[in-house]
Amino acid sequence: MTSPGAKLRAVLAEPGIMVAPGVFDGFSLRLVEMMGYKTAAITGAGLSESNLGWPDVGIMGYTENLRACSALAAVSTIPLAADGDTGYGNALNVYFTVQGFERAGLACLMIEDQVWPKRCGHMEGKQVISAEEGVEKIRAAAEARRDPDFVIKARTDATAILGLGEAIRRLNLYAEAGADILFADALLSAEDIGTVARNVSKPLTVNMGFGIRQRPTTPLLSTRQLEDLGVKAVSFPRMLTAAAIQGMKNALAVLGQSIAEGRVIDRPDLLVPFSEINELMGIGKLQAIQESFLKG
């Protein structure tokens, strides 16, 4: 049987840029699969926000993250990448964090070089550990995996704190330590993205922050533009969480109007039918399994 890591590496090896929508629950995962995407990235921020009701500032720990990712991996037909934050401690903690996520059926785990508690990459107030400690964490991550195809993604948040040159230096050190794919978060221009892509020794991935409307962070670029800049993979971690919240806001506003006016307001355009939800969630497969046993 092909391992999740091997499946992800096969997608990475295909020509062109790899697109990974950010998923955070069963609905978002099933939709991404249905729409034909070959992989997805589980957003740590989305898990913290949707499961715990708190922003991505280190409130969610290893156990909560692993539990949620394990449940998604168990039903996924596509390889999934998880966000391992800082690895929840030092290099020893990273070692066991990687093994936990690999056992849970993930294809990839990202480890970052922020201090703990971490912050979302587009928030202010970030701090990073030393490059030397970051290297030890990535080396531990690479050595911990039992399947050599399990993908290690190394992330640096050094750009905003120590500059672009230091971010590039760190990424190359992390590549030497065993990282398979590299991520410099919160790059501020297309020029910066191209500079990093040209000067690192392993494939570069970036995030596109649809749904972020405050001060400019990484500019929104098309997948074609990113590919032309030398980027190998792109994730959209905030898009589906932001879309889900907007959809719920729209529905609740109509409910409020209905209550205020004392009448039924039916807006089918705001809601998917019950039958479509059941179909999306795999009711047909469950019925087929049940019938196969009943026939016996």
Mean pLDDT in consecutive groups of 10 residues from the start of the chain, 296 residues: 97 98 98 98 97 94 98 98 97 98 98 86 78 98 98 96 96 98 94 98 93 69 97 96 96 97 96 96 94 81
- At residue 61, the pLDDT reads 96
Judge if 193 and 128 occupy the same domain: yes
**Domain of 174, in residue numbers:** 4-238
Judge if 223 and 195 occupy the same domain: yes
Judge if 21 and 160 occupy the same domain: yes
- Give residue 176's Cα distance to chain centre: 23
| Contacts of residue 28, Cβ cutoff 8 Å, sequence gap at least 6 | 21, 22, 46, 240, 241, 244
- At residue 118, the pLDDT reads 78
Judge if 131 and 275 occupy the same domain: no
Judge if 225 and 254 occupy the same domain: no
Judge if 228 and 280 occupy the same domain: no
For 90-122, b where at least 16 C-beta lie within 10 A, e where not — what string?
Answer: ebebbbebbbbbbebbbbbbbbbbbeeebbbbb
| Domain end marker among 238, 255, 273 | 238
Judge if 87 and 225 occupy the same domain: yes
- Give residue 207's Cα distance to chain centre: 9
CATH number at residue 27: 3.20.20.60
Judge if 141 and 193 occupy the same domain: yes
Judge if 205 and 264 occupy the same domain: no
Listed residue (209, 208, 211) closest to 242, CA to CA: 211
Looking at the DSSP assignment, which residues form a beta bridge with residue 22?
A: 41
Judge if 163 and 87 occupy the same domain: yes
- At residue 176, the pLDDT reads 98
- At residue 213, the pLDDT reads 59
| Domain end marker among 238, 269, 284 | 238
Judge if 75 and 107 occupy the same domain: yes
Instruction: Report the number of distinct structural domains present in the chain.
Output: 2
Judge if 226 and 251 occupy the same domain: no
- At residue 123, the pLDDT reads 63
pTM: 0.94
| Domain end marker among 238, 266, 286 | 238
